[in-house]
């Protein structure tokens, strides 16, 4: 049985969930309180991070490595381009969202507003929240520029780069931290990817103590 140890609003876990769902791989979701440093979990991943995927007889960590393994062993439908230049662009943008976007936006909005409360680390730092709110505007503008020149973020076909971006934005959208009116192009892209069957389980997530906005699960938002 494929089993994913995850946290519902983690964009890295959501990226893996989207990849599994797109490939129509059934998975058992196990919510993992990684911050508790449970010995059993640390045996699965000594780094103490989610996601961790039990798959093909392996215990796998690191979201991008997991997604690339899934795509290489279950190539249909493809999420990683076969042509080297296109594959480079996809990997560059996955890195952009999982590194730069995560550090400048996700960690300053989602982690301050949600993770601190869930893990008992205290109250949000208003300076971080304000910095994240400023930074997301730049990232949405960059996405708009990319999408003005191509159908999907990395090119003419949907790739893992789109799932990486959608994973972060969907987590932030749960707490109403995305201004979808800033760019009609980005909003249309998100509506297109959000309407895919792979997104259904993510839109059904419910986080105790946090209620998503009415448009969160609306496919015609």
pLDDT of residue 68: 98
- Which has more pLDDT, 209 or 5? 5
Q: Tell me the pLDDT tens digit for each residue of 56-80.
A: 999 999 999 999 999 999 999 999 9
Mean pLDDT computed over 12-39: 97
**In the predicted model, is pLDDT for residue 221 greater than 90?**
no
Q: In this structure, are strands 28-31 and 52-55 parallel, antiparallel, or unpaired? A: unpaired
pLDDT of residue 195: 97
CB-CB contact of 59 with 45 (8 Å) = yes
Distance separating alpha carbons of residues 55 and 131, to the nearest angstrom: 38
CB-CB contact of 191 with 38 (8 Å) = no
Torsion of CA 120, 45, 69, 16, to 10 degrees: -20
pLDDT of residue 107: 98
Q: Is the dihedral of CA 55, 78, 220, 147 positive or negative?
A: positive
Model confidence at 220, pLDDT cuts 50, 70, 90, reads confident
pLDDT of residue 12: 98
DSSP 40-83: HHHHH-TT--S-EEEETTEEEESHHHHHHHHHHHS-SS--S-SS
Integer-rounded Cα radius of gyration of the chain: 17
| Nearest one of 57, 58, 56, 50 to 15, comparing CA atoms | 50
pLDDT of residue 152: 98
Residue with the two structure tokens 């103590």? 209
**In the predicted model, is pLDDT for residue 25 greater than 90?**
yes
Q: Chain centroid to CA 24: how far?
A: 18
Q: Tell me the pLDDT tens digit for each residue of 110-155.
A: 999 999 999 999 999 999 999 999 999 999 999 999 999 999 999 9
Q: Tell me the pLDDT tens digit for each residue of 71-110.
A: 999 999 999 999 999 999 999 999 999 999 999 999 999 9
| Phi/psi at 151 (5° precision) | -75, -40
pLDDT of residue 81: 98
**In the predicted model, is pLDDT for residue 18 greater than 90?**
yes
Q: Tell me the pLDDT tens digit for each residue of 147-201.
A: 999 999 999 999 999 999 999 999 999 999 999 999 999 999 999 999 999 999 9
pLDDT of residue 219: 81
């Amino acid at each position: 049985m494929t089993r994913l140890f995850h946290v519902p609003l983690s964009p890295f876990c959501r990226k893996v969930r989207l990849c599994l769902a797109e490939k129509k791989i059934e998975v058992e979701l196990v919510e993992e309180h990684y911050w508790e440093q449970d010995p059993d979990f640390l045996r699965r991943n000594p780094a103490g991070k989610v996601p961790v995927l039990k798959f093909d007889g392996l215990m796998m960590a690191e979201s991008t490595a997991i997604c690339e393994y899934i795509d290489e062993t279950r190539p249909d439908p493809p999420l990683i381009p076969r042509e080297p230049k296109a594959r480079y662009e996809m990997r560059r943008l996955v890195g952009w969202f999982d590194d730069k976007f995560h550090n400048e936006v996700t960690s300053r909005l989602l982690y301050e507003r949600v993770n601190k409360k869930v893990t008992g680390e205290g109250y949000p730092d208003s300076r971080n929240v304000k910095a994240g709110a400023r930074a997301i505007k730049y990232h949405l503008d960059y996405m708009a520029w990319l999408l003005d020149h191509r159908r999907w973020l990395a090119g003419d076909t949907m790739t893992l780069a789109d799932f990486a971006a959608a994973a972060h934005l969907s987590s932030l959208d749960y707490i109403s931290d995305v201004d979808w009116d800033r760019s009609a192009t980005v909003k249309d892209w998100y509506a297109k990817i959000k309407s895919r069957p792979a997104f259904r389980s993510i839109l059904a997530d419910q986080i105790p103590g946090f209620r998503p906005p009415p448009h969160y699960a609306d496919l015609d938002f």
